[in-house]
């Protein structure tokens, strides 16, 4: 069932997105600011169920592409994403009738609310990942043979680019190269699809789930409780680790924020060490001995162990106490097609994917 989202809901939405964003997807504060400005000026947003959309309606995902470390310094104005959407609509000769969120994350699950408020379009309750992933082709839409192109991309300076490619991996490659030239981040409208295509491919209910997770975090904090246990109960999650960050290595290369974080255990994890590897998002959590405890496509979600707030990779710093929760990914990601698209092998790791809790 559909519902209305107002500016008051954005705290929860930004937090929930950041949690499912598995360390990536950008700063939830920036995403919230963008959406709040848009909702304050243009009014609330309608979130609708996938089945409420007509089969022939044009549905368009809108999102940020690039290294979130860059977006922290370059607040998007909103103009870029409207420009990208307009370029896509111009190319298609058709107006979008509903918006799609491409992934959960601090920025990418709030940007669609901003665009929905400004354009008056409804936002569909679902997304393409059920989490965040670093590359453009890593969406359920790819598994359903929906092309990423035509893809329109715009920067903060007024440049834009429209891509038509032979497959979604080529789109990632070409659009990434342009994004890097544009300063490391750009706003995108892509994967235009019919309502019928959307219904078969979208991961349903993600927008609602994001809001619920955020509400759980806020409710726990209001009771001065840590939200970790409640979230693990609701999400069938596993407590992977709690500890203090003792080392962070990071580099922005090839348009991505890549690195590793080393965490030294406390409490039940005293005496142990955990290494988490990331490329925008947390990908692999392994022990100092190399045993993989949780691996992409399953989710590695980080919370500040003291404050209970989601932690993104760019917030990682020496001394920060974090709690890591593993969450099973959507069943689509655990199929051979899903593992080929976003499993450990794609990212260059040689371990087999072992489903969390499996």
What is the contact surface with a copy of itself in residues (CB under 8 A)?
A: 87, 91, 157-166, 170, 173-174, 177-178, 180-182
Residue closer to a copy of itself by CB (options 181, 236) is 181
Least spacing, CB of residue 112 vs a copy of itself, in Å: 23
Give CA–CA dist 245/260, Å, rounded.
11
Residue closer to a copy of itself by CB (options 160, 295) is 160
Residue closer to a copy of itself by CB (options 179, 295) is 179
Q: Considering only CA atoms, which of 103, 108, 66 is closest in space to residue 299?
A: 103
Residue closer to a copy of itself by CB (options 157, 336) is 157
Residue closer to a copy of itself by CB (options 156, 273) is 156
Give CA–CA dist 131/342, Å, rounded.
12
Which residues is 64 bridged to in the sheet? Answer: 187
Residue closer to a copy of itself by CB (options 38, 152) is 152
Least spacing, CB of residue 169 vs a copy of itself, in Å: 11
Q: Considering only CA atoms, which of 350, 336, 330, 354 is closest in space to residue 132?
A: 330
Least spacing, CB of residue 274 vs a copy of itself, in Å: 36
Q: Considering only CA atoms, which of 355, 293, 303 is closest in space to residue 329?
A: 355
Residue closer to a copy of itself by CB (options 165, 332) is 165
Q: How many CA atoms lie within 13 A of 193 on its CB side?
A: 28
Strand pairing category for 281-287 and 321-327: unpaired
Least spacing, CB of residue 157 vs a copy of itself, in Å: 6
Give CA–CA dist 129/114, Å, rounded.
20
Phi and psi for 72 in degrees, rounded to 5? -60, -35
Least spacing, CB of residue 147 vs a copy of itself, in Å: 12
Least spacing, CB of residue 176 vs a copy of itself, in Å: 8
Question: 235-260 burial by CB neighbour count: b if 16+ within 10 A, else e?
Answer: bebbebbbbebeebeeebeebbbbbb
Give CA–CA dist 159/185, Å, rounded.
12
Residue closer to a copy of itself by CB (options 91, 347) is 91
Tokens of 95: 């107006």
Least spacing, CB of residue 89 vs a copy of itself, in Å: 13
Burial of 289 (0-12, 13-18, 19+ CB in 10 A): exposed
Residue with tokens 């000026």: 41
Tokens of 27: 């700063």
Least spacing, CB of residue 149 vs a copy of itself, in Å: 9
């Amino acid at each position: 069932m559909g519902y209305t989202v107002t500016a008051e809901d954005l705290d929860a939405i930004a937090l929930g997105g950041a949690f499912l964003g598995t360390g990536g997807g950008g700063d939830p504060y920036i995403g919230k600011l963008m959406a709040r400005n848009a909702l304050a000026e243009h009014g609330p947003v309608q979130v609708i169920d996938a089945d409420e959309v007509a089969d022939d309606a044009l549905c368009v995902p809108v999102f940020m592409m690039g290294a979130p470390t860059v977006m922290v310094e370059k607040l998007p104005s909103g103009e870029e994403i409207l420009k990208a959407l307009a370029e896509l609509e111009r190319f298609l000769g058709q107006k979008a009738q509903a918006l799609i969120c491409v992934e959960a994350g601090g920025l990418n699950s709030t940007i669609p609310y901003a665009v929905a408020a400004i354009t008056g379009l409804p936002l569909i309750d679902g997304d393409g990942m059920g989490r965040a992933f670093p590359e453009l082709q890593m969406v359920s839409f790819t598994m359903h043979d929906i092309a990423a192109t035509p893809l329109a991309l715009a920067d903060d300076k007024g440049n834009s680019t429209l891509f038509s490619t032979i497959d979604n991996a080529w789109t990632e490659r070409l659009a990434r190269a342009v994004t890097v030239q544009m300063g490391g981040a750009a706003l995108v409208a892509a994967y235009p699809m019919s309502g019928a295509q959307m219904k078969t491919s979208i991961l349903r209910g993600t927008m609602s789930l994001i809001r619920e997770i955020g509400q759980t975090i806020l409710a726990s904090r209001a009771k001065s409780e840590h939200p970790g246990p409640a979230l693990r109960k609701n999400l069938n999650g596993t407590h992977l680790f709690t500890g203090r960050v003792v080392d962070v290595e990071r580099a922005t290369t090839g348009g991505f924020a890549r690195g590793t974080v080393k965490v030294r255990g406390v409490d039940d994890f005293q005496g142990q060490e955990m290494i988490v590897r990331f490329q925008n998002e947390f990908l692999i959590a392994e022990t100092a001995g190399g045993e993989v405890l949780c691996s992409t496509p399953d989710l590695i979600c980080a919370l500040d162990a003291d404050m209970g707030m989601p932690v993104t990779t760019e917030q990682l710093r020496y001394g920060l106490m974090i709690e890591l929760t593993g969450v099973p990914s959507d069943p689509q990601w655990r199929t051979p097609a899903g593992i080929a698209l976003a499993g450990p092998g794609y990212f260059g790791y040689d371990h087999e994917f072992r489903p969390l809790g499996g």
